[in-house]
Amino acid sequence: MEKTCFTKYFFLSLILFAVMWIIHNIALGRNLTIYPHLWGNILHPTADLSNQSAKNLTEQNITPIKETKHFLVSAYKDHRINGTIRIISIFRRDDVRRLYCIIGCAQHGYFVTAAEVDIHSDHFGFPYQTTDLLCKTDPKCDATNVTISNSPYTSDIPDMIFLPIRNRERNEHNFKHNFTVCISNLFGTYNNVLQFVQTIEVYKLLGIQKVVIYNTSCGPDLDKVLQYYREEGTLEIHQWPIDQFLNPSKGWNFEEHKGDLHYYGQLTTLNDCIYRNMYRSKYLLLNDIDEIIVPYQHATLELLLEDLQRQNPTVGVFIIQNRFFPKTVFDDEGRFSFPRWKIVPGVNILEHIYREPYRKHVYNPTKMIINPRQVVQTSVHSVLKNYGDTLRVPPGVSRIVHVRVALQGNLTKEQLIVDTKLWEYQKDLLPKVDSVLNKSGIYD
């Protein structure tokens, strides 16, 4: 009898508290909406978020999540997992909590559901890490935009900042581009103009149609070149002001370089580039701006991938080995040491034909050519999650030409290997480089 009375009074107290809470909020003039999340996801026809105004629908690449230490980057419909919305984010690893997706549905109001937090396994010791938020939708919801809240009980949905949902339509054929290069970050005073232009023009000769760059900052001369390539249609630039939100590291090792986030958010931008181009490009090249993935047995990248894919039809990730060309060792003949290029900031990659020998027992960084529709998450040198198989491409078939500071600085020139592969492109390359330097105003 006592237990029955206690139970009755307990539930009466709960009901009384709920009524008082509602009256209190109404008295304050709040636009009160109650989300009975504990009883399942619900579709709310009371508000249409499918056409958010400009102030609510952001095109910015970094959006703080209110009352958390986390940031939203971009949202994509992932058709491979039943149309679940994948939000690429940056999370503080020691502050993971329960979060909720608020999804705008075309003509059907909004949909509230719990977010699944999928933290990427690579973070290199930094406090902040690339993270995927997965938001499952209702079949009745034609999802157009989404945001994240730390509570399902919120009254300010119309004032929240929403991300547009990209990749709403699935396209497995008729891609806009065959090959796109994803360059993860430009930052600091990077002004390596000559190497940048030479690299882009070699890539165009190899069959690249688009280059995507995430730009935090760069030098004034390189900025002229970026604007030229953007107007030409080769380059797609995404502003990446990560330094306005966090203290990004200038290196990859937390113990050595410190900071909040690995290499200005390189892991986040690479993952965003994959999803952004998932249905726009047949293949993506994931590498740095001072690296060129070069086919050594084929005239173009298209011919290379046709061969590799025919021999390995289930492969969606092709690992390419790096080969290093010290920028302090020059061609003895000075064949491409042009006075006009000496006034241009940066490295002349055609002058550096000596590469370091491969070391079997030392880690050799790699980069990748991928089918983006087979990749779920990526790190810098390998993928973290994917659907298909992975192939390590023999260096005699394709390798990376990487002109940089020597890794084996104790070697003499005689101990290095002569590799003049880039000279094969000189006939078309030289006039194209000069044309870009002229039209972009570098020669002025």
End-of-domain residue from the set 116, 132, 166: 166
Considering the domain boundaries, does residue 8 fall inside one? no
Considering the domain boundaries, does residue 369 fall inside one? yes
Contact 222, 190 (CB under 8 A): yes
Count of beta carbons in the 10 Å neighbourhood of residue 57: 17
Contact 75, 52 (CB under 8 A): no
Query: Do 324 and 426 reside in the same domain of the chain?
Result: yes
Query: Do 188 and 328 reside in the same domain of the chain?
Result: yes
**Rounded to whole angstroms, how far apart are CA atoms 437 and 338?**
14
pLDDT > 80? residue 372? yes
The CATH number linked to 374 is: 3.90.550
Strand partners for 164: 145
pLDDT > 50? residue 113? yes
Amino acid, res. 164: P
Query: Do 331 and 250 reside in the same domain of the chain?
Result: yes
pLDDT digits (tens, 9 = 90+) for 340-352: 999 999 999 999 9
Q: How many domains does the chain have?
A: 2
Of residues 437 and 158, the one with the higher pLDDT is 437
Contact 243, 212 (CB under 8 A): no
Considering the domain boundaries, does residue 238 fall inside one? yes
Q: Domain containing 270: what range?
A: 177-439
pLDDT > 90? residue 111? no
- Taking each continuous run of H as one helix and of E as one strand, the counts in the chain are 8, 23
Query: Do 352 and 435 reside in the same domain of the chain?
Result: yes
Query: Do 187 and 309 reside in the same domain of the chain?
Result: yes
Count of beta carbons in the 10 Å neighbourhood of residue 68: 16
Mean pLDDT of the chain: 88
* 393 Cβ contact partners less than 8 Å away, ≥ 6 residues apart: 308, 318, 319, 320, 321
**Rounded to whole angstroms, how far apart are CA atoms 149 and 92?**
16
The CATH number linked to 139 is: 2.60.40
pLDDT digits (tens, 9 = 90+) for 129-178: 999 999 999 888 899 999 999 888 766 777 889 999 999 999 988 999 99
Query: Do 204 and 155 reside in the same domain of the chain?
Result: no
Count of beta carbons in the 10 Å neighbourhood of residue 36: 11
**Whole-number pLDDT of residue 15:** 54
pLDDT digits (tens, 9 = 90+) for 1-50: 444 454 455 455 555 555 454 444 444 433 333 333 322 344 444 445 55
Query: Do 48 and 181 reside in the same domain of the chain?
Result: no
**Whole-number pLDDT of residue 12:** 55
Query: Do 143 and 232 reside in the same domain of the chain?
Result: no
Considering the domain boundaries, does residue 286 fall inside one? yes
